[in-house]
Amino acid sequence: MRMPVNPRLFLIVIVSIGLAFPSAVFAHIGHKVEHNHPFPTKKFSVRNGKVVYAKFCASCHGNEGKGDGPAAASLNPRPSDFLHLKYMSMRSRVDHYDAIANGRPNTSMSPWKNTLSDKEIWDVIAYIEHLFNHRWDVSSKVTEELSH
């Protein structure tokens, strides 16, 4: 025997669910609109970040992230030094994402969003954090990934 469904009750339940969960359902889209970058949806890969960094970043930022790559001497301003404590403490992952994806005005840092995927950008950020954490002997899950 089938139970009768009250249409009003059904409508109230559906509307309540819709009002209760839109922020969770659309959080990723809203985050991208508000912050102009996609929220990372996959685990960072320091190993992949190291490969991408070596291919696209090291010529300016140097193999160790000190801003001393082969092309750095001819650039004004010089590339960022990712091992500089004051610089890194003032930058968030979002700041790094924005700089890599969209470039930095009045510098030679070009936008990479048409060359690198979002995942590759986040992986490079993880690798930059690894370089910084290794330099300053800060333990983190990012640093630990390379040691396994």
Q: Residues 82-114: pLDDT tens digits?
A: 888 888 888 888 899 999 999 999 999 999 999
Distance CA 81, CA 135 (A): 12
Which residue has better confidence, 74 or 1? 74
The CA-atom distances, in angstroms, between 85 and each of 59, 73, 82, 138 are: 22, 22, 8, 12
Give the three-state DSSP class for 10: helix
Where does 41-147 sit in CATH, by number? 1.10.760.10
For residues 140 and 30, give the distance between their C-alpha atoms in angstroms, rounded to a whole number.
Answer: 29
Task: Give the pLDDT confidence of 35-86 residue by residue, as tens digits.
Answer: 555 667 778 899 999 999 999 999 999 999 999 999 999 999 999 998 888 8
Helix pair 118-135, 93-102: axis angle to 10 deg? 130
Q: Could you tell me the residue ranges of all domains in the chain? A: 41-147
Count other C-beta atoms under 10 Å from residue 90's C-beta: 9
